[in-house]
Structures are given as C-alpha cells and as structure tokens.
Structure 1
Amino acid sequence: MNIENLVGKFRKVITENPYVFNSIVEPMRNEVDSEFESNKKMLAELKSKFEEYQKECEEDDEYNFSIDHYNDLKLDLMTTEYELEYLSQRNFVLREMQILYAYKNVEITLKRLISMAYPDTSLRELHNWKALKEASKNKGANLTQASFYQQIDHLRCVCNALKHSSKITQEVKSANIKEFNGKELFCDLSLGTFFDRVEPLISDFYISFCASLIVPLGGCKQSWLESFEPYVNPDPEIPF
C-alpha cells in the first residue's frame, strides 16, 4: 500500500468531516434559547406583579380586589411556565439528536478509516464498538490508546442510554461523567454541557487513531501529528 496515498485519504476524511449536523441544529437551538430567555424574563415579571398584587390585597382590607384580575395574572403565570417547559423539552430533543448523530458518525468514520488502511477488512466485522476495538487491536492500532478515547467512550455510553429513555443508566453512572453525577434523569442543560465539552474532541480523536493505523504500515507518526499541530488539542490523560 502507498502510505502517502493513505495519509492523503485519512486527511481528507478528517478535514472534510466537519460536524455538518450542527449547522442544521444550531440555528434551531438558538431560536429555542432566545424564546426560552424571553419567556424566562416574562415569567419573572409576572411573578413580581402577582406577588405585589397579593401583598396589596393582604395589607389593605379596603383594597379593591378583583377576582378577574387575579385570575388573569394566575393564568398568565401558568401559561408562561408551560411554555418554558415546552421549550425545555424541545431543547432536550435537539441535544439528544446531536449526541445520537455524533456517536453514530464516529462509528461510521472509524469503520471507514480502518477499511482504508486494511481494504481486506469486512465491514460486517465492524458492527459495533467492541468489534471496532478488537479489529483495530488486531491490526496493531489500539483504539483505546487514541487521545480522548475516554471522552468518546462516554459519548457512546450516553448515546446508548438515550436510545431507550431519559433515565441515566448504570453504565453512565459507572463512567463517572461529571455532567451527570448525582442525577437520575438527563436534561437539556446537562446534555448540552456534555456535548459542548466532548464534541470538539472528536477530530483530535480521529487524528490520534489514524496515527496508530499508519505506524504498522510504515508511516511516520510524528510527521502525521505535526501536520495537524495548529489545531490539535492536548490530552492530559493520553499525550501524543
């Protein structure tokens, strides 16, 4: 195999593998976030008006209490609270979609990279995460030694949990992922914080893994990594 051609193919996969799904989801998330903040501000104002009206009625026996005005304020409060819950659920779904897509895209990309390096590999052999680890190890490229492997494995755990429900599974709890520690259910905020932390590491994970695929085939790990130095993140756990 021509190692230079392989390096070129790897580079193309990595540089042309931007997270395009984000470009679709982010505008929707921004819209939901904007609506959420607007309604949150409105709720605070309504609560203040409602509490002020209640206080005036309690302190002044002769205050001209209006049941209609009271009910209108109460209804506005309830409506705004429902709207916030609805927006929160929409944001949850968008975050869920981002995480599910991100992990499935990781699986697909890893299959592609391994099959490029070893064309004789059957895609049927690479049917899940365990199989990907075994196949790479057999080729002399240990997937678990790639930079940011732990974070990507956490992405897998969260993805698997979300496929079934919003309940945080024992697998996720055992992984000790900081965004979900002490929680029983996923929420839009915890999923968002987790995704925003892990997603930027995916490209660097690919770069590191490609390095381990290149070496057994006679390629130079150092020159490969140096070619990406301008934007490769340092991994405090597994240095290059």
Structure 2
Amino acid sequence: MTKSTLYTNNRKAEELGFKMFVLHVENNHFDKIAEDAIKKHEEEILKLKEINKENTIVDSEVFYDILFREEELKALSEMKIIYSYKHFETSLKFLLNSSYKDLDKSKLYKWETISDILKIKKIDIRKLDCFNDIDELREVNNAIKHDAILKSRKIPVEFKDKDHLSYKDILTFYNRVEYAPVAFLKSLHDKIIIDRYQFDENRLEELVSQIEKSMEPKIAIEFANKILSKY
C-alpha cells in the first residue's frame, strides 16, 4: 500500500467515525426509562384520585401517596433535563477530543473555553443550530442542580411569571428543547468536517499566506517537499 493510499484510507476512516458519532448522539437511553416511569405514576395518581372521589372522608394514606407520586414526577422531569444535558456534554467532549487531539481535556468542562476553542477554528458557537435552546438547557440544568430552577440565569418562556413549577411545566420545556442537542452536535460535526478536511481556494491561499509570512524561502521549500513526500 502506498503512502498516498494509506493517508486517504486514514482520512476516510476518520470521516466514517465522525458519521457514526452522529448516530451515537441520538441514543438517549434514559428518556424511555423516564417516560415509562412518568406514565406509570400518572396512571396510579388517576386511580388514587378515583378512590378519593368514592370516599366521603379523604383517605390520608391515599392523599400522601398522591403527593409522593407528584414529587416523583417532578424529580423524573428534572432528571430528564439533567441527563439530556449530561449526555450532550459527554458527546460534545468526545467530538472535540476526537477531532482535535491537542486539546486540554481538563478545560472542556467550561462553556466559555469550548466557545474560545471553536473560535480559533473559526467556528462561531452562537451560529450553530439550536444554540439558544442548548444555552437554556445548560442554564436550567445548572439551576436544577442547585435546587433553584426558577432562579435560572435564563428563564425559559415555559417558566415565566410562575412562582411554582409543576412537572408538566418542566416537561413542556424539555419537549421544546429535546432535539436541540442532536441538532447542535450535527451542526458542529459538519463545521468540524469542513475545518478538518475541506480546503477551498481561499483557505489554501490563507495557509500559504501564513507560511509565507513566517518561513524563509529555504524552509518553505523544505516544508513543501516534506508534504509532497507524504503523498
């Protein structure tokens, strides 16, 4: 196998890996578990309320069972958000680490750092698909972790003007942003493919200009020969 063929195969393998990554992103295992649990609690609450209707005196055991299940519903709705963002965050780090081997992995937990990294690659994070939804999801996730969901720095429209949130309010927000992580990551994935593998005339001119400004002619020729030797 020639060097040229080897490099071509390696690039194709990497591109295929990126495409497979997108399939992985769509695989949110917790959602189905949470949905089944939510449905079960809702059905049980309806049954318990029917029992209370039939009784002339409110059954305290039934009453507290309903309260408990309502709290469970709220917890499950919050967990859907927490898991969704964690799943997104893990996938985002994986995509960046796989794409750019020289990144400092320890700094990828900061949203601002990720934004700066992408800016260097000429990828504007704010222009990626569903950025605003992801930003809301991130803020609500952080607020839930601090038990202050109504004090999120970005208040979703579903939470505005409310002193108390029901699990349905939280699920309404979740349903709106549910597919944002996939859309965002696919959009970023496409930008990374362009950055890694696509070199149009303008980009080639830009690279040549950078080399021209920083290398002496002798070094530039040696550099060009080394590139040619790889193909």
Task: State TM-score, norm by structure 2.
Answer: 0.74
Question: Residue 74 in 1 paired to residue 57 in 2?
Answer: yes
- Output the amino acid matched with 1:22: D
In structure 2, what is the Cα distance between the partners aligned to 1:98 and 1:127?
Answer: 20
- Output the amino acid matched with 1:32: H
Preserved CA contact (<8 Å) 1:111 1:132: no
In structure 2, what is the Cα distance between the partners aligned to 1:5 and 1:98?
Answer: 34
Counterpart for residue 215 of structure 2: none
Question: Residue 130 in 1 paired to residue 112 in 2?
Answer: yes
Counterpart for residue 157 of structure 2: 178
- Output the amino acid matched with 1:80: V
- Output the amino acid matched with 2:115: K
Q: Give how far 1:101 is off.
A: 1.3
Preserved CA contact (<8 Å) 2:142 2:152: no
Q: Give how far 1:153 is off.
A: 0.8
Superposed, 1:67-216 pairs within 5 Å as 73-76=56-59, 78-173=60-155, 177-216=156-195
In structure 2, what is the Cα distance between the partners aligned to 1:187 and 1:108?
Answer: 28
In structure 2, what is the Cα distance between the partners aligned to 1:9 and 1:167?
Answer: 37
Preserved CA contact (<8 Å) 1:166 1:185: no
Preserved CA contact (<8 Å) 2:78 2:144: yes
Q: Give how far 1:170 is off.
A: 4.9
Preserved CA contact (<8 Å) 1:126 1:135: no
Q: Give how far 1:29 is off.
A: 1.7
Q: Per-residue CA shift, 1:41-97, capped at 9, x if unaligned?
A: 444x34xx6xxxxxxxxxxxxxxxxxxxxxxx3232x44332222111001111111
Question: Residue 28 in 1 paired to residue 28 in 2?
Answer: no
- Output the amino acid matched with 2:157: K
In structure 2, what is the Cα distance between the partners aligned to 1:41 and 1:202?
Answer: 40
Identify the range of structure 1 (121-130 vs 78-87) with the bigger mean alpha-carbon deviation. 78-87
Aligned counterpart for 1:7 among listed residues 15, 20, 32: 15
In structure 2, what is the Cα distance between the partners aligned to 1:75 and 1:34?
Answer: 19
Q: Give how far 1:123 is off.
A: 0.6
Q: Per-residue CA shift, 1:147-195, capped at 9, x if unaligned?
A: 111111111011011011144115133xxx1210111343311111111
Preserved CA contact (<8 Å) 2:140 2:152: no
In structure 1, what is the Cα distance between the partners aligned to 2:166 and 2:11?
Answer: 45
SS at match of 1:16: helix
Q: Give how far 1:202 is off.
A: 2.0
Task: State TM-score, norm by structure 1.
Answer: 0.71
In structure 2, what is the Cα distance between the partners aligned to 1:133 and 1:121?
Answer: 13
SS at match of 2:165: coil
Q: Which runs of 5+ in 1 are unaligned?
A: 50-72, 221-240
Q: Per-residue CA shift, 1:21-52, capped at 9, x if unaligned?
A: 12332222221121122223444x34xx6xxx
Preserved CA contact (<8 Å) 1:142 1:212: no
In structure 1, what is the Cα distance between the partners aligned to 2:69 and 2:148?
Answer: 16
In structure 2, what is the Cα distance between the partners aligned to 1:38 and 1:219?
Answer: 60
* Identity between Structure 1 and Structure 2 (%): 24
Counterpart for residue 19 of structure 1: 28
Preserved CA contact (<8 Å) 1:99 1:159: yes
Aligned residues: 190
Q: Per-residue CA shift, 1:188-213, capped at 9, x if unaligned?
A: 11111111221123212211111111
Q: Per-residue CA shift, 1:120-162, capped at 9, x if unaligned?
A: 1121121222211111121222222111111111110110110
In structure 1, what is the Cα distance between the partners aligned to 2:137 and 2:80?
Answer: 11
SS at match of 1:179: coil
